Amino acid sequence: MKKKYQNRHIINENIKYPKVRLIDVPGTQLGIYSSNEALKIAVNKGLDLVVISDKSEPPVCRIIDYGKYKFSQEKKAKETKKKQHNTSIKEVKMRYKIEEHDYKVRLNQTSRFLQTGDKVKVTIILRGREIQHANLAVELLKKMANDLQGIAEIQQHPSRDGKNLTMVLSGQKK
């Protein structure tokens, strides 16, 4: 009947099984028919014959409007995709010689990112001779983790990455 809807399901003339278990539109079981008889019943009702389960013996076919069925399946898939939240990693960069006000700005940025469900990579950039004072940068990262203790947990402890020190924070599980 309608051949343009063929992608995942086996429908109408493409059903090659000798016998199928037939289910009507309301969901009542009609019995076991040959594929040709089941297709004739579906065509007489102006609907499609769709294989629902090919794992059972004999395969289960249902008489439905395939266009509406496919539309409802796509709508359900969109709804489940809409409910998912993709976490991304935001990055906050600073130097270890940061002033108190600038530190609080970075702290607020980090807490805002964490509250929206994102992970935060805190990076301290070391330049020139500052590399000798990496311990001060580690203390600053620990201070930040301590200040965010109520809303964040450390996912990756402070580690050195070339001339940078990084730490990854994620929102606390409720």
- Of 29, 30, 28, 1, which Cα lies nearest the Cα of 15? 1
What CATH architecture is 89-171?
2-Layer Sandwich (3.30)
pLDDT higher than threshold 50 for residue 123: yes
Cα–Cα distance measured from residue 170 to residue 117, given in angstroms and rounded to the nearest whole number: 8
CATH code reported for the domain at 12-82: 3.10.20.80
Note the pLDDT tens digit of each residue in 17-75: 888 888 888 888 888 888 888 888 888 888 888 888 888 888 888 888 888 888 988 89
Domain boundaries, the chain: 12-82, 89-171
